[in-house]
Structure 1
Amino acid sequence: MERIRKEEVTFLDFWFVDIFGELRRMGMPSYAVSEENFHDGLEKLDASSIAGFKSVNNSDMILKPDPTTFRILPPEYDNGRRRNARLICDLYEGSTSEGSRYNRDSRGITKKASEKLSAAGLTHTNWGPEIEFFVFDAINVYPSPYAATHSYGGSGYSIESKESPWAKGNISTAIDIKEGYYPSQPKDTLETFRKDICDDLYEYFGIRIEAEHHEVATSGQCEINLAYDEMTAMADNVIAVKNVVKVKAKRRGKVATFMPKPIYGDNASAMHVHQSLWKGDENAMFDSADSVAEMSQIGRYYIGGILDHSQALCAISNPTTNSYKRLVPGFEAPINVCWGMGNRSAAIRVPMYCRNQQRSKRMEYRVPDPTANIYLLEAALLLAGLDGIRKKTDPGSPVVENVYRMTNEKKREYNIGSLPSTLKGALDALASDSGFLEDVFTKDFLDKYSELKRKEYSAFAQTPTAWEVSMYADA
């Protein structure tokens, strides 16, 4: 409360996410907030108005602000030039006692998952996501998915970008399909934009950035790498990053999207997640005696658990119908269930830039995309890995070959499986392999999450596309 007064904050934004990770907020003038609100919470949430939360006859819920998440928001968050601050909230039912934490609160699921570490003799985990996204000048959708049956002249979409090979008058900025990796100015038209984002993330949110750059695809594909942090703090950071990107793009008359595959024939956006396990100051994944990967036995079991549950994990790591337009051969996306050292054709890569580096020993899960709810993703990956440690799941030997070029016979010989090719396939896999999640996620949460995602897939499956009309209209 003293900080609010000292910083002359006029409005407070209270942030939380729904079960799919979409950011929600409610604002209050600072004079309306009391110290009691940090203990007793805010009686301000009609949970029946948020998909997947509560029914209308049992909808009252409490937002409890976490004071450690207090941050001043960048000026671009308010055209009225007010001074605003953000607090992330935990969700409760009835009271703010620990036993009343709402079981569909994503942030609460992350916290519950982290409490499982002690049983494996671990103290904490570190996480470092690589967040990819597109920034376009415009996305035009016309006029609706129902257009073809309502005499609107058809439906479709178009993307505008000064970097695209189809834009007019862009001879100095055109980037061809799959040729966008690390270009310099003037082809990289978004370098200043990314630097502005990184500056705000550090200055206002305290989020440390490892690197920013243009990614492989044309038309403004970007990547921002976050310096590692612990589990809940990192999830909070990812939510902030995605929102800052969208807000700053909107203020500049552009549109940012974390949709994985907006451009046919080009690379898609991923969210590779680096993870390490710790016992105090000791990296539990590192073992200098392992001459192959310098990976400890507990690290190998952790990898084995994630690979073992990888198909079910896709329902959380790749949660949209568009996600599976990324998980196809030929676009640097992982579709093979295996691990390797420095091998980007595998689902799990153990970076091998330098040897004998205990602090940097980690694994990178390359499957997720940025539509994933980061709280659920971290929790699910941790629980899968801990299940591997508990069961001593052997991941097999690391694959050194380019898995994309392997024959099916060779994959069978190496016991390399495949990830689901549709959202429905991922949901079916989760339905048959959810036991490792249920103690933390609860069956109630998983049932509701799957129910809503199946409705999403059903709507997608029933909607004719422009490609289908073009392909089959003369059948």
Structure 2
Amino acid sequence: MVWKMMVQDTLDRIKNNKIDFVDFWFVDVFGELHSVSIPSYSLNEEHFVNGLEKLDASSIRGFKSVNKSDMLLVPDLSTYVVLPPVYDDGQRKNARMFANLYESDGKNEIRYNRDSRFIASKAVEKLGKFRLTKAMWGPELEFFIFDKVNLFPSAMGAMHSYGGSGYSIKSSEAPWEGGNASTRIGLKGGYYPAQPRDTLEGIRKDICDDVYRYFGIKVEAQHHEVATSGQCEINLLYNDTLAAADGVVSVKNLVKVKARKMGKVATFMPKPIYGDNASAMHIHQSLWNGNKNAMYDPDDVSELSQIGRYYIGGLLDHASALCAISNPTTNSYKRLVPDFEAPVNICWGVGNRSSAVRVPMYLHGNEYSKRIEYRVPDPTANIYLLEAALLLAGLDGIHNKKDPGDPVEENIYQMTPEQKRKYNISSLPYTLHDALGSLQSDKKFLEDVFTSDFVDSYVEMKNSECKSFAQTPTAWEVSMYIDV
């Protein structure tokens, strides 16, 4: 009865909002957003109760084979929002809902085990074993907005061109561009510049306005980031697991749509510019039992509870394997190098941004704000899988009482190899191939939720990217070796 009332309420909202089309969103294994749109007049109660018979899963990367490809999209009614006019040039009124994926087991319709939202939901269920009720997440999204990106010889041929390939980046902020000196930002010189040097403040504010007005997602802050040529950051306020992940997917999509509407190009590729800082997706996280923050201890010098320390121990213990999910592209490892503010060292610190795990210390005696920040991920990660993997690694640390050791206070970037050995500080994987190998050998903490089959398939698909990358000559290699 309650469910039918919710369905009827959703249908009433669609009618009262005068919605023309409803878009149903879901992501694939790697977090890429997919959408199917249905006219509002074609929707009825049956679609919301039993699902939409609209998914050929063989056409979605990493899903199903062509002989067993029929799947259902079951709308999550709680995710209904009216989309901003920018999604349809104001010509029609559109709404959006996330959909959960279902398949048949021969008798019943069951959740699909490669549905990213399902994996995140299963991870959250593990909290009950630790007398915890929820995990809270605060993602920091970094990205670039360029004026233009050209691929040579063409977008389709740039990856494998027998005659050579390359790219160019256009930005009014770029130091390599001629033009208005008042908007030029040097390499690593883009942190908090004011207008007119910050040419993208208006776009970022438009995004933040729409994110809150239409999606109901609260933004903590927005600003220009360190890199030149339009590096931006939008910080999202804390939310629980699914809501935070849905929020990241929504914001990333809106950023791209807004940029395209302005004749620009938005990218969440971590390292598009040589010699400059790359884009990260730092993740703030905390564990709660009702209204009590399980990571807070007012009697500890850093106000971090023993549960929080064990959670950090789990993250550090599984950091190399986590990289395959938190940094899932070959380009990710062009960010994870020294001297560019990237956390390449497996250790933790209090207020220390040179460590992989940081315990922020802005406010003392504030239980609500006590959290840990995992600084390794970048925005190419599938946010649902990332939250699930981080949570499972942390809970594994709590279960096995993994002590992370003492926090590191020094600037780890300036440490010698001998000093790092003294503190028992190891390094993250240098390549995606190395990270995938770590995941394959350290997947047990994930298997109960992700399943071994999913992890094996994920590793296989990502290894194919590594193989293709390894076989493709780059412009750098040609310039270095063409005359040997």
TM-score for the superposition, normalised by structure 2: 0.96
Residues 39 and 147 of structure 1: CA distance in aligned 2, closer, same or farther (over 3 Å): closer
> 1:209 touches 1:225 (CA, 8 Å); kept in 2?
yes
What is the aligned partner in structure 2 of residue 424 from structure 1? 433
What is the aligned partner in structure 2 of residue 120 from structure 1? 130
Which of 412, 417, 421 is the equivalent residue of 2:421?
412
Which of 392, 409, 418 is the equivalent residue of 2:401?
392
Which of 313, 336, 349 is the equivalent residue of 2:322?
313
What is the aligned partner in structure 1 of residue 264 from structure 2? 254
Shift of residue 289, structure 1, vs aligned partner: 1.1
Q: Distance in 2 between matches of 1:369 and 1:427?
A: 16
Shift of residue 85, structure 1, vs aligned partner: 0.1
Which of 203, 214, 239 is the equivalent residue of 1:193?
203
1:295 maps to amino acid: L
Residues 357 and 148 of structure 1: CA distance in aligned 2, closer, same or farther (over 3 Å): closer
Percentage identity across paired residues of the two chains: 67
Taking the TM superposition and a 5 Å limit, the aligned residue runs for 1:30-179 are 30-79=40-89, 81-94=91-104, 100-143=110-153, 152=163, 154-179=164-189
Q: Distance in 2 between matches of 1:290 and 1:98?
A: 51
Q: Distance in 1 between matches of 2:179 and 2:303?
A: 52
1:431 maps to amino acid: Q
* SS of equivalent residue, structure 2 residue 282: strand
After TM superposition, the structure 1 stretch with the greater mean CA deviation from structure 2, 86-95 or 362-371, is: 86-95
1:333 maps to amino acid: A
Shift of residue 150, structure 1, vs aligned partner: 5.8
Which ranges of structure 2 fall in alignment gaps of 5 or more residues? Answer: 1-10
* SS of equivalent residue, structure 1 residue 321: coil
Taking the TM superposition and a 5 Å limit, the aligned residue runs for 1:260-279 are 260-279=270-289
Which of 352, 370, 386 is the equivalent residue of 2:379?
370
Q: Distance in 2 between matches of 1:218 and 1:403?
A: 25
Q: Distance in 1 between matches of 2:166 and 2:131?
A: 53
2:166 maps to amino acid: G
Residues 53 and 139 of structure 1: CA distance in aligned 2, closer, same or farther (over 3 Å): same
Which of 265, 274, 284 is the equivalent residue of 2:294?
284
Q: Distance in 2 between matches of 1:252 and 1:200?
A: 15
* SS of equivalent residue, structure 2 residue 29: coil
Q: Distance in 2 between matches of 1:355 and 1:97?
A: 56
> 2:269 touches 2:279 (CA, 8 Å); kept in 1?
yes
Which of 9, 14, 17 is the equivalent residue of 1:7?
17
Residues 124 and 98 of structure 1: CA distance in aligned 2, closer, same or farther (over 3 Å): farther
Q: Distance in 1 between matches of 2:223 and 2:196?
A: 14
Residues 118 and 96 of structure 1: CA distance in aligned 2, closer, same or farther (over 3 Å): farther
Aligned length: 473
Q: Distance in 2 between matches of 1:113 and 1:455?
A: 27
* SS of equivalent residue, structure 2 residue 67: coil
What is the aligned partner in structure 2 of residue 335 from structure 1? 344
> 1:62 touches 1:96 (CA, 8 Å); kept in 2?
no
Q: Distance in 1 between matches of 2:159 and 2:67?
A: 38
2:186 maps to amino acid: D
What is the aligned partner in structure 2 of residue 436 from structure 1? 445
2:232 maps to 1:222: yes
* SS of equivalent residue, structure 1 residue 57: helix
Shift of residue 97, structure 1, vs aligned partner: 10
> 1:62 touches 1:95 (CA, 8 Å); kept in 2?
no
2:31 maps to amino acid: G
What is the aligned partner in structure 2 of residue 324 from structure 1? 333
* SS of equivalent residue, structure 2 residue 41: helix
2:426 maps to amino acid: G
Shift of residue 421, structure 1, vs aligned partner: 0.5
Dislocated runs of 4+, deviation >2 Å = 94-99, 144-152
> 1:40 touches 1:95 (CA, 8 Å); kept in 2?
no
What is the aligned partner in structure 1 of residue 392 from structure 2? 383
Shift of residue 341, structure 1, vs aligned partner: 0.6
Shift of residue 356, structure 1, vs aligned partner: 1.0
Residues 99 and 435 of structure 1: CA distance in aligned 2, closer, same or farther (over 3 Å): farther
Residues 258 and 241 of structure 1: CA distance in aligned 2, closer, same or farther (over 3 Å): same
What is the aligned partner in structure 2 of residue 356 from structure 1? 365
TM-score for the superposition, normalised by structure 1: 0.98
Which of 191, 206, 209 is the equivalent residue of 1:181?
191
> 2:160 touches 2:472 (CA, 8 Å); kept in 1?
no
1:392 maps to amino acid: K
* SS of equivalent residue, structure 2 residue 368: helix
* SS of equivalent residue, structure 1 residue 470: helix
String of CA shifts for 1:126-177, please: whole Å, max 9, x gaps: 100000000000011101586798664x311110000000111121100000
Q: Distance in 2 between matches of 1:267 and 1:16?
A: 31
* SS of equivalent residue, structure 1 residue 302: helix
Shift of residue 94, structure 1, vs aligned partner: 2.2
Q: Distance in 2 between matches of 1:88 and 1:24?
A: 10
* SS of equivalent residue, structure 1 residue 271: coil
> 2:82 touches 2:95 (CA, 8 Å); kept in 1?
yes
Q: Distance in 2 between matches of 1:379 and 1:398?
A: 25
Taking the TM superposition and a 5 Å limit, the aligned residue runs for 1:196-215 are 196-215=206-225
Shift of residue 38, structure 1, vs aligned partner: 1.2
2:439 maps to amino acid: L
What is the aligned partner in structure 1 of residue 481 from structure 2? 472
Q: Distance in 1 between matches of 2:167 and 2:131?
A: 52
* SS of equivalent residue, structure 1 residue 471: helix
Taking the TM superposition and a 5 Å limit, the aligned residue runs for 1:291-306 are 291=301, 293-306=302-315
String of CA shifts for 1:373-397, please: whole Å, max 9, x gaps: 0000000000000000000000000
Q: Distance in 1 between matches of 2:298 and 2:179?
A: 56
2:203 maps to amino acid: F
Q: Distance in 1 between matches of 2:107 and 2:45?
A: 17
String of CA shifts for 1:309-331, please: whole Å, max 9, x gaps: 00000000000000000000000
String of CA shifts for 1:47-92, please: whole Å, max 9, x gaps: 0001100000000000000000000000010136100000100000
